[in-house]
């Protein structure tokens, strides 16, 4: 049984998402998006709580910060004792688009069962110079190249949103 | 020994103010709580008094400024609450710990002068061989006083100073005064304040400009009496362009009541200097090991912490580097093994203050038989630290269903022209890997021990051979279950 | 004296994969076991070595013995010490553990063989040279970052040093080029002729068998042995494929 939870933060403020599992075999995909383009604090907290074994989770978070925004993302995968057969992976990638913005990334794990697969990855940085160079070498101006890269970056999450209407509304908001 | 209650640990205290001078905020960060619940435990200190602190200083014949420093620290210790993120310390009875013990009157200069009982202990650890063999000099500690030390002639000719901290203060008071408590300020945290008030023993190392100390300097520690608290204080100053490797390893015999080890290590790495500090910690499983270790790294300096935590009931230790100068580099390689009744709460902190600084944290932990291994880390890249790069890799093995592994990293990025990468994986020993080695004839426990040692290998190979061999053996013993 | 298997029924997660396999390998004999994908060949290899995932479905009339000694109750390492070796199809990688470390421990686990670490090192280097294995790989974690062919050759190196009584080569030929195949065949032939090792070669291609000539050929399909014969079986398969193989028993 596969379901999807989407959380989007596009204004300063705080959003929390707790994901629970009802029974074995459940699969949940969690998508998080932070578009922080105003000065202020943006705080996103996600907790994936595996109390039951043989549950499957995938968390994918993408965030961009500019114009003096400050983002803080906390992503916790928790696997209770006895919840064997859990498979979960959390990925959070944050881009700082100018010198005024800041980010705090906190990917966390609390694992009390051993027959599990759990890992996470987090990166914080700016737009890759190599990627920019590549596009610019094809004749694309820097600003436009950066926009293409950022769009592609966010699209990695947006394109996974199952409900078409939601996808459209997110795109409208950003682009 | 079994921990009866599951301890709820509050999260790592996060730094709230995002635009402060990092050193100042480091001290504050231990105390500030913000949008979360942080529990404070306040302990009464009937056992320890200001008079005891002053008497200690007088007995040691210290200069007035050091006595005053101790008293200030004591005042802070009394006033401060226990740091919020420290796991359960209710097993320690603060009033019952004997804070200072001095089994012999003076520092012995040769092996013959050391009391017999102490000799036997060191025989077991193998100090005479080590001293005669590879190493430059050995400072050994027995219950708060440096008993035995010797320094090879060639080192002292080069101007390298390697003394007990007490002796270092006596011979080089100006140097000590300049650096003591600058990297770890008196009020940094409650345990550091306690150490600053009651410190005794530890090492003082000074390496002059451009001098390379070819062989590792090492020291042994030992907690040997009931309820002995150990507050050794180490200060290492590596002057510009110098290079030194300091090794600290310890073991303790069996006790029933809690033993406390609250050390402070301060290291100053000046421009272009390279320092490596290796610790192999195997305290007996009733010891509380709470250590503050921090290095201040200047331009193009390199600091590397290698931290092996196998013993103790509870270890709380996050070797830190403050990368204060351009192109400074900090590394922490950490191994933690938590067995029955143990909690290893280890990790690292890297604070990037200057441009083009780099840091790397590699943490490998193993939990078995109900043990708990936690990684707690902080990477902070300050505004202005352009071109900074940091990479963190945490791998954890959970060997059975009773054990636990946690990862609590905090990455605070205040500058955009930087890159930070962090990955963490939790897994168990693969059935296929076990089958493979067993199919070649290895019995299961041996196969498992081999795989676990292989897991630790990337860090082990950075540790001096003697220690690596001892550590491998300890890991194998732990795997067999014959230890503790 | 033989490696004897009789009435072996094996289930994986409740599904029957091997349905009453019986076969016998004499010392020095080379027996080829062929069959299409999914016929149960690798399950047989894993079951003989005692992989925990393979459950013996019935112990009625079950015989599994090495030179008269039953290994039914034995763990993989006990079976190894009884003289069995399995060159795996997909050797797993073990980070931080070099081939020398693993072999030293393996040798020391058998009471008959006492070899110094230095002698073993030299022996490994000699074998690596003969098998054309890059000496760099000897220092790395076992199979870490090795190509498929390098992994297979590393299995053969270990086999030659451990000198088992009976060895199972599980699809060792897949992923090897002609030169590597010849080297592997040479190694196996040497063991069969000079050391009287009994060899079970599991494969579904005929290539290796041109260099490692089998004394007998068995064909397995759907967990059952459907055909037994000499080298002509191989030629027959080459011409008509597996579809017709089951027709003559």
Å from A130 to nearest chain B CA? 14
Count of C-beta atoms within a 10 Å radius of residue B226: 12
Confirm whether A72 is domain-assigned.
yes
User: Among A121, A128, A169, A136, which residue's Cα sits nearest to residue A152?
Assistant: A128
Confirm whether A96 is domain-assigned.
yes
pLDDT in tens, C160-215: 988 899 999 999 888 788 888 888 898 899 999 999 999 999 987 788 898 999 99
User: Among B7, B11, B61, which residue's Cα sits nearest to residue B378?
Assistant: B11
Element (DSSP H or E) covering residue C143: none
Confirm whether A174 is domain-assigned.
no
B159-197 burial by CB neighbour count: b if 16+ within 10 A, else e?
ebbbbbbbbbbbebeebbeebbbebbbbbbbbbbbbbbb
- Measure CB to CB from residue A123 to each of B398, B403, B420 and give the nearest one: B420
- Measure CB to CB from residue B428 to each of A106, A115, A125 and give the nearest one: A115
Q: Show Cβ contacts of residue B30 under 8 Å, excluding neighbours closer than 6 positions.
A: B13, B83, B84, B188, B189
Residue to test with chain C: of B436, B449, B453, most C Cβ within 10 A: B436
Residue in chain A nearest B414 by alpha carbon:
A102
In three-state secondary structure terms, C42 is helix
Residue % of chain C over a pLDDT of 90: 38
ipTM of the complex: 0.83
Interface of C with B in 143-202 (CB under 8 A): 158, 162
Dihedral, CA atoms, C130, C136, C137, C142, nearest 10 degrees?
130
Confirm whether A166 is domain-assigned.
no
Residue in chain B nearest C80 by alpha carbon:
B441
User: Considering only CB atoms, which residues of chain B are within 8 Å of chain A?
Assistant: 14, 18, 396, 398-428
Cβ contacts of C102 on chain B, cutoff 8 Å: 437, 440, 442, 450
**Tell me, what's the pLDDT at B153?**
60
Decide if B288 contacts B345 (C-beta within 8 A): no
**Which carries the bigger pLDDT value, residue C243 or residue B120?**
C243
Cβ contacts of B430 on chain C, cutoff 8 Å: 92
Q: C–A contact (≥3 CB pairs within 8 Å)?
A: no
Domains in chain B: boundaries: 98-430, 431-484
Binding partners of B (≥3 Cβ pairs within 8 A): A, C
Residue % of chain C over a pLDDT of 70: 96
Judge: C96–B442 Cβ closer than 8 Å, yes or no: no
Full pLDDT tens readout for chain B, 484 residues: 232 222 222 222 222 222 223 333 333 333 322 212 222 222 223 467 888 888 888 888 999 999 999 999 999 988 887 776 666 666 666 655 555 444 333 444 455 554 454 455 445 444 444 444 333 344 444 443 444 444 556 677 889 988 888 888 999 999 999 999 999 988 888 888 989 998 887 889 999 999 998 777 766 433 333 334 578 899 999 999 999 998 876 543 333 344 677 889 999 999 999 999 988 777 767 777 888 999 999 999 999 999 888 777 788 889 999 999 999 999 999 999 898 888 888 899 999 999 999 999 999 999 988 899 999 999 999 999 999 999 999 999 998 888 999 999 999 999 988 999 999 999 888 888 999 999 999 998 889 889 998 899 888 888 776 667 666 766 776 666 543 3
Full pLDDT tens readout for chain A, 175 residues: 689 999 999 999 999 999 999 999 999 999 999 999 999 999 999 999 999 999 999 999 999 999 999 999 999 999 999 899 999 999 999 999 998 999 999 999 999 998 898 999 999 999 888 788 777 777 777 888 888 888 888 888 998 988 888 888 888 776 6
Report yes or no: C113 at the B interface, CB cutoff 8 Å: no
Query: C137: which DSSP letter?
Result: G
Domains in chain C (CATH in brackets) are: 3-94+149-156+164-247 (3.40.50.300)
Cβ contacts of B417 on chain A, cutoff 8 Å: 99, 126
Element (DSSP H or E) covering residue B67: helix B64-79
User: How far is residue B432's CA from residue B450's CA, in Å, rounded to a whole number?
Assistant: 14
Size of interface B-C (CB pairs under 8 A): 85
Count of C-beta atoms within a 10 Å radius of residue C136: 7
Write the secondary structure of A76-111 as one string of H (helix), E (strand) and C (coil). Answer: EEEECCCCCCCEEEEEEEEEECCCCCEEEEEEEEEE
Decide if C102 contacts B441 (C-beta within 8 A): no
Judge: A125–B418 Cβ closer than 8 Å, yes or no: yes
Domain count, chain A: 1
**Tell me, what's the pLDDT at B30?**
31
Confirm whether A143 is domain-assigned.
no
Domain range for A84 is: 2-126
User: How far is residue A19's CA from residue A36's CA, in Å, rounded to a whole number?
Assistant: 24
- Measure CB to CB from residue B401 to each of A106, A113, A121 and give the nearest one: A113
pLDDT in tens, B360-373: 999 999 998 889 99
User: How far is residue B451's CA from residue B474's CA, in Å, rounded to a whole number?
Assistant: 14
Confirm whether A11 is domain-assigned.
yes
Residue labelled with tokens 């299961």: B444
């Amino acid at each position: 049984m596969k379901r999807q939870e989407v959380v989007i933060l596009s204004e300063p403020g705080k959003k929390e998402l707790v994901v629970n599992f009802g029974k074995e075999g459940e699969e949940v995909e969690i998508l998080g998006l932070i578009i922080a383009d105003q000065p202020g604090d943006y705080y996103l907290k996600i907790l994936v709580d595996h109390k039951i074994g043989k549950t499957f989770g995938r968390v994918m978070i993408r965030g961009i910060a500019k114009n003096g925004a400050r983002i803080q993302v906390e992503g916790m995968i928790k696997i209770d004792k006895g919840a064997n057969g859990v498979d979960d992976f959390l990925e959070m990638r944050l881009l700082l688009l100018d010198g005024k913005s800041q980010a705090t990334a906190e990917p966390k794990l609390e694992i009390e069962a051993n027959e599990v697969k759990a890992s996470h990855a987090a990166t914080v940085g700016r737009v890759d110079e190599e990627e920019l160079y590549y596009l610019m070498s094809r004749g694309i101006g820097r600003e436009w190249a950066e926009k293409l890269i950022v769009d592609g970056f966010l699209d990695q999450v947006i394109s996974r949103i199952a409900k078409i209407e939601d996808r459209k509304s997110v795109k409208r908001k950003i682009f | 020994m079994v921990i009866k209650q599951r301890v709820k640990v509050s999260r790592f205290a996060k730094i709230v103010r995002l635009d402060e001078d990092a050193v100042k905020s480091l001290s504050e960060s231990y105390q500030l709580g913000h949008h979360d619940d942080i529990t404070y435990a306040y302990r009464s200190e009937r056992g320890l008094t200001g008079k005891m602190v002053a008497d200690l200083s007088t007995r040691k014949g210290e200069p007035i400024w050091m006595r005053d420093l101790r008293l200030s620290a004591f005042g802070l210790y009394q006033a401060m609450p226990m740091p919020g993120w420290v796991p359960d310390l209710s097993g320690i009875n603060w009033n019952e710990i004997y804070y200072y013990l001095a089994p012999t009157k003076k520092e012995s200069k040769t092996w013959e002068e050391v009391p017999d009982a102490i000799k036997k202990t060191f025989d077991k650890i193998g100090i005479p061989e080590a001293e005669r063999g590879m190493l430059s000099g050995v400072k050994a500690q027995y219950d708060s006083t440096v008993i035995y030390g010797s320094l090879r002639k060639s080192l002292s000719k080069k101007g390298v100073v390697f003394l007990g901290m007490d002796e270092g203060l006596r011979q080089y008071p100006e140097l000590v005064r300049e650096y003591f408590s600058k990297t770890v300020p008196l009020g940094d945290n409650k345990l550091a304040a306690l150490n600053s008030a009651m410190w005794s023993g530890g090492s003082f190392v000074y390496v002059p400009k451009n001098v390379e100390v070819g062989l590792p300097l090492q020291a042994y520690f030992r907690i040997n009496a009931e309820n002995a608290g150990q507050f050794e204080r180490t200060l290492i100053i590596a002057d510009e362009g110098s290079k030194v490797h300091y090794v600290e390893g310890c073991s303790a015999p069996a006790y029933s009541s809690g033993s406390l080890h609250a050390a402070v290590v301060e290291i100053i790495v000046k421009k272009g200097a390279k320092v490596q500090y290796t610790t192999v910690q195997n305290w007996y499983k009733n010891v509380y090991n709470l250590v503050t270790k921090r290095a201040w790294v200047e331009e193009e300096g390199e600091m590397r912490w290698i931290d092996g935590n196998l013993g103790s009931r509870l270890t709380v230790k996050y070797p830190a580097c403050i990368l204060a100068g351009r192109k400074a580099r900090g590394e922490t390689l950490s191994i933690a093994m938590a067995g029955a009744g143990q909690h290893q709460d280890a990790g690292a902190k890297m604070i990037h203050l200057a441009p083009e600084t780099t840091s790397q944290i590699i943490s490998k932990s193993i939990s078995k038989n109900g043990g708990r291994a936690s990684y707690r880390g902080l990477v902070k890249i300050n505004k202005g630290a352009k071109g900074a790069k940091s990479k963190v890799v945490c791998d954890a093995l959970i060997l059975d269903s009773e054990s636990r592994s946690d990862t609590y990293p905090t990455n605070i990025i205040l500058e955009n022209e930087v890159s930070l990468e962090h990955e963490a994986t939790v897994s168990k020993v693969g059935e296929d890997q076990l089958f493979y080695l067993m199919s070649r004839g290895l019995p299961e426990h041996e196969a498992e021990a081999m795989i676990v040692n292989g897991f630790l290998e990337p860090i082990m190979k950075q540790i001096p051979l003697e220690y690596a061999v001892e550590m491998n053996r300890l890991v194998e013993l732990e795997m067999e279950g014959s230890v503790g | 004296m033989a490696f004897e298997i009789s009435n072996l029924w094996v289930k994986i997660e409740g599904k029957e994969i091997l349905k009453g396999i019986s076969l016998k390998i004499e010392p020095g004999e080379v027996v080829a076991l062929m069959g299409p994908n999914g016929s149960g060949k690798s399950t047989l290899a894993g079951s003989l070595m005692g992989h925990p995932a393979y459950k013996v479905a019935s112990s009625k009339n079950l015989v599994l013995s090495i030179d008269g000694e039953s290994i039914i109750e034995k763990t993989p390492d006990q079976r190894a010490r009884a003289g069995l070796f399995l060159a795996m199809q997909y050797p797993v990688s073990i980070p931080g553990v070099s081939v020398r470390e693993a072999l030293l421990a393996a040798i020391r686990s058998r009471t008959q063989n006492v070899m110094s670490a230095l002698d073993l090192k030299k022996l490994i280097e000699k074998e690596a040279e003969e098998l054309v294995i890059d000496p760099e790989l000897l220092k790395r974690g076992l199979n870490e970052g090795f190509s498929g062919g390098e992994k297979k050759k590393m299995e053969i190196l270990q086999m030659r040093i451990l000198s088992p009584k009976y060895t199972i080569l599980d699809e060792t030929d897949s992923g090897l080029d002609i030169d590597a195949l010849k080297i592997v065949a040479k190694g196996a032939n040497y063991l069969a002729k000079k050391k009287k090792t009994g060899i079970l070669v599991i494969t579904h291609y005929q290539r290796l068998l041109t260099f490692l000539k089998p004394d007998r050929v068995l064909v397995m399909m759907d967990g059952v042995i459907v055909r037994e014969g000499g080298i002509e079986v191989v030629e027959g398969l080459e011409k008509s494929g597996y579809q017709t193989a089951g027709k003559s028993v």
